Structure 1
Amino acid sequence: MAAFPAVLFAQAAPKPITLKVGANPIPHADLLNLVKADLLAQGVKLEIIEITDYVTPNLLLAEKQIDANFFQHTPYLVNFAAERKLALEPAGQVFVAPLGLYSRKYKKLADIPAGSIITIPNDPTNEARALVLFQNKGLIKVDPNAGLKATIRDITENPKKFVFKEIEAPQLPRTLDDAAAAVINGSFATQAGFFPARDNLIIEGA
């Protein structure tokens, strides 16, 4: 499940309050827009701050420039907060956009040649999720002791000799002009014009 962290603030007064939430544009901001009217009827004016990366939302939250954010899963939040010594906690559980493998050159996973370049997220936990996608298909093996902190350095077997390159998550769709395929979060895949349920070569949960 995804995490919806927030800095604790005083109980709302009877008059309308403004709630600032940082969110990735698609689908998170879109989903928040669907509830704006309902929240306003309850005395809460929802202000959505669209942010296109995975770092800024937590930094703004820690600096109390926003009241909450909506873009990440719990392992990412916990790791990010621990590494940067930030007092952030999940305020609730929501959905997780699935990671999937996408390509502009190949229609099937089996078509990707040995030795091809595959780009994957470089952020903690999401890189591990990307590697698990390949491991679950029997394409690589990853050191089981690495857990959710696994990186390409924890790959123990890679019979097809794929060349995995770590890239910042928002930039992954742009790598498809050169790379054979990329593991992209569902939100960024949608922004790039992919329909995850239709266009993936591999997807989490399938």
Structure 2
Amino acid sequence: MKRRLIAAVVSLFLLAGSQAGLAATLKVGATPVPHGEILERVTALLEERGITLEVVEFTDYVRPNLALQDGDLDANFFQHVPYLESFNQDAGTSLVALAGIHIEPLGVFSEKVASLGELPARASIAIPNDATNGGRALLLLQEAGLIAVDPAAGITPTIFDITENKLQLRFVELEAAQLVRSLPDVHAAVINGNYALQAGLNPITDAIFLEGAESPYVNVIAVRAGDEQRPELQQLVEALLSDETRAFIMEKYEGAVVPVF
């Protein structure tokens, strides 16, 4: 009898431990600004729900997806859906967007000119070298009236899809994380919002041309396919979509990061 009672108690203990472990810790990869800062902001909200959030910072756009696919992370927060879909296709990963959180407007920055109208003929323009952000940059430059691209290229045009380039602009394709460093060497650079903020640039005040808030490039929490219903990941999304998080984003970034909820 005593032996059965002990066995029952041990079983209950193990079950409780397993359930606690399910929601005990979440390891989420993120680029430092603004994603890491936003995640740090919800740490306390998750602790109230019994979840410890561990933020793992990355400074590039490749390793956080590979780490998630390999099971080293439970989720990541740094990318928009077009990039995620392109990465899945190229790398053979099976990652999915769990929830959209915010938009970081893409901007044109320069240390040499104060406006697009000051760009000289054959000016050098640095853009991201990945297909989705590079295409996004070219579409932004088209919106600014500097170039035209073939509509058949959709949302991922390349420099080979440029059909009009009156200033004969020269494009320098670089890894997104290197674009800020390129500013002294080029006439202008099209820089992702997170890297601009990380370098101390405010897209609202420092960009000479800025993407509109209606952009379709919403930054998302990404997870492995099949993990969408994990309770602790649902709790993470709930915390990120809270009124507290929205207020933090609006106050902290003053329009340089725009919540979509």
TM-score, normalised on structure 2?
A: 0.72
1:81-96 alignment, distance < 5 Å: 81-96=88-103
Partner of 2:206: 199
- In structure 2, C-alpha distance between the alignment counterparts of 1:156 and 1:193, rounded to whole Å: 35
Partner of 1:190: 197
- In structure 2, C-alpha distance between the alignment counterparts of 1:169 and 1:138, rounded to whole Å: 23
Partner of 1:168: 175
Partner of 2:236: none
Paired residue type of 1:205: G
- In structure 1, C-alpha distance between the alignment counterparts of 2:19 and 2:82, rounded to whole Å: 33
Partner of 1:144: 151
- In structure 1, C-alpha distance between the alignment counterparts of 2:204 and 2:94, rounded to whole Å: 36
TM-score, normalised on structure 1?
A: 0.91
- In structure 2, C-alpha distance between the alignment counterparts of 1:193 and 1:14, rounded to whole Å: 40
Partner of 1:13: 19
The structure 2 residue matched to 1:113, chosen from 105, 111, 120, is 120
Select the structure of larger CA radius of gyration.
Answer: 2
Partner of 2:48: 41
CA RMSD of aligned residues (A): 1.2
Deviation string 1:63-115 (CA, Å, 9 cap, x unpaired) is: 01000000000111011001111111111111121110001111111111111
- In structure 1, C-alpha distance between the alignment counterparts of 2:205 and 2:149, rounded to whole Å: 28
CA contact (8 A) 1:99 1:204 kept: yes
Unaligned segments of structure 2, at least 5 residues: 1-17, 214-261
What SS is found at the alignment partner of 1:135?
helix
Unaligned segments of structure 1, at least 5 residues: 1-11
CA contact (8 A) 2:31 2:60 kept: yes
For these two proteins, the number of residue pairs brought into alignment is: 195
1:14 positional shift: 3.9
Question: Greater share of helix residues, 1 or 2?
Answer: 2
- In structure 2, C-alpha distance between the alignment counterparts of 1:80 and 1:154, rounded to whole Å: 21
Partner of 1:24: 31
Partner of 2:160: 153
- In structure 1, C-alpha distance between the alignment counterparts of 2:25 and 2:202, rounded to whole Å: 34
- In structure 1, C-alpha distance between the alignment counterparts of 2:147 and 2:43, rounded to whole Å: 44
CA contact (8 A) 2:139 2:155 kept: no
1:60 positional shift: 0.3
What SS is found at the alignment partner of 2:135?
helix
Paired residue type of 2:141: F
Paired residue type of 1:95: H
1:23 positional shift: 0.3
Percent identical pairs in the alignment equals: 49
